[in-house]
Amino acid sequence: MDQKSLSVQNAVLKLGEGFSKLGNKEKLDLENVIKDLKFGSPEDILDKLLKDPSLIDQRPELIQRILREEATNVFDLSSTEQLNRSTAAMGWIGRLNKLGQRKKNRRYYRKVYDLHRANVNNYTIVAEGDSWFEYPLFVKDTLDWLDSFEENAVYSSAYGADWLSNMIKERQYIEALTIHDPDYFLLSGGGNDLVGGQRLATLINIPSTKIESKSVSEIFTKYENDPNLVLESSSGSPLRSEIYKLAKPLVRQRELNMLLSILVVEYFGLLHSIDKAKKNGKFPRLISISHGYDFPIPTNRILSGPSFWKIGSLIAQGVTNLVMPNGVWLFRPLMTKGIHDSVVQRAILFYLIDRYNEVMSNLACHFKFHRFVDCRGLFPRSSDWYNELHPHSNGFRKVARAFHHCIHDFDSDNVEDVIVARKLN
């Protein structure tokens, strides 16, 4: 038996009695899922799910166990329970998340009591997500901006620092969708699954030689002046290819593919469950919208951007980036792996986030009720970022504008499966 087959069989053995009770076809299907997760690409997984969505339906508990076991291998965790140890509900972060969520939901119920749904031109929205939807300190996040439009009533289940895997495990969005029966379901997730808990370090190789980054540095200078020079063409464009050429050898491809495959299965499972519910007459008018992330810039700086010109914002940003230390998500793991050149660090994050966006935007095209907001190129300069992972308030306003465009023009011929946010700002 070759090494791949042995690896798959070992994973099957861990499934135990639940697997042994399956029929021969179900066993083969799950073995193929495990094989693709371990050795295939996220595109392979998506293709398999599109051809046979019943893979998700047949044995969802075993699919979840497979995902958890493989993710445990990716991140070298001691147990699968660590996968859902999100800090979103813990300690002071949890308390701040609760306060922020309550504030949003008070606004929601005020609109409900003011007969919001009596006006057919108004929109009821349920949102589940991470810190791009719930930033607990001093920043006006995406949902805050969306809710500032009087016609939008936004109910939030979002928690800053939450992981997609945890959102799906907790399933709070299901209850919220049932209770509020919204027009739109907004989802923000996957970023913390990539970089939470210094996971980035598990995806990076230590460089064996000094890396020449001058040409890529010049590309980023062009990108800052005009992101379209790099992003307008396909991933095979010369400037993009140069960034890939530098970054790709430093990224562990098998681990990255496995992680992206896990995110594909989780997103597909969520959207497929909504699709099934809609076909059974539930949520007939529901539209879902998710988003990708822009390319973050690793740094441990406390201050950046427009805060320099406003003393109140300056103090707020300094406090936030000291309390939630800037640099722990990206800068520290990269430095730990010997990636000291800031250009190389930036190229690695460009490559990772570009791969994530390509996979997720491709997934969005296969569900008629779903749209994907592509945020790449919205924040090309370091001054656009509040910290490593989040833009300033005005940046979140740009993200909200793209969501707002999609919500108001969903039935228009001008709204495609993927909404490129930088073209609307």
pLDDT of 239 reads 93
CA–CA separation, 23 vs 161, rounded Å?
40
CA–CA separation, 164 vs 22, rounded Å?
28
Other CB atoms within a 10 A radius of the CB of residue 285 amount to 10
Q: In what order do the strands lie in the sheet with 184-188?
A: 152-156, 123-129, 184-188, 287-291, 370-374, 418-420
pLDDT of 172 reads 86
pLDDT of 312 reads 60
Other CB atoms within a 10 A radius of the CB of residue 254 amount to 12
**CATH architecture, domain defined by 87-202+247-424:** 3-Layer(aba) Sandwich (3.40)
CA–CA separation, 402 vs 21, rounded Å?
48
To which residue do tokens 């998710």 refer?
290
Q: Where are the domains of the chain?
A: 3-82, 87-202+247-424
CA–CA separation, 397 vs 386, rounded Å?
13
User: With contact defined as beta carbons under 8 Å apart, do 344 and 211 qualify?
Assistant: yes
CA–CA separation, 215 vs 342, rounded Å?
13
CA–CA separation, 306 vs 253, rounded Å?
37
| Identity at 246, one-letter amino acid code | L
Report the relative pairing of strands 123-129 and 418-420 from DSSP bridges: unpaired
Give the C-alpha distances (Å, rounded to integers) separating 71 from 79, 308, 330, 348.
Answer: 10, 41, 20, 21
3-state secondary structure of 373: strand
pLDDT of 415 reads 61
pLDDT of 1 reads 58
CA–CA separation, 147 vs 143, rounded Å?
6
| Identity at 77, one-letter amino acid code | L
CA–CA separation, 22 vs 59, rounded Å?
9
Could you tell me where the beta strands, DSSP code E, fall in 52-119? none
pLDDT of 379 reads 97
115-135 exposure pattern, b = at least 16 Cβ within 10 A, e = fewer:
ebeeeeebbbbbbbbbbbbbb
Burial zone of 323 (CB within 10 Å; 0-12 exposed, 13-18 middle, 19+ buried): exposed
Mention every residue, 6+ apart, whose C-beta is less than 8 A from residue 196. Answer: 86, 161, 163, 329
Q: How large is the greatest C-alpha to C-alpha distance in the chain, in angstroms?
A: 68
pLDDT in tens, the chain (425 residues): 567 777 777 777 777 767 777 788 888 887 887 788 778 899 988 998 888 888 888 777 777 778 777 777 666 665 555 455 566 666 777 888 899 999 999 999 999 999 999 999 999 999 999 999 999 778 999 999 999 999 999 999 999 988 888 888 788 899 999 999 999 999 999 999 888 878 899 999 999 898 999 999 999 999 999 999 999 765 568 899 999 999 999 999 988 998 898 899 999 999 999 999 999 999 999 999 999 999 999 999 876 765 445 666 665 666 676 667 788 999 999 999 999 999 999 999 999 999 999 999 999 889 999 999 999 999 999 999 999 999 999 999 999 999 999 998 866 555 678 899 999 98
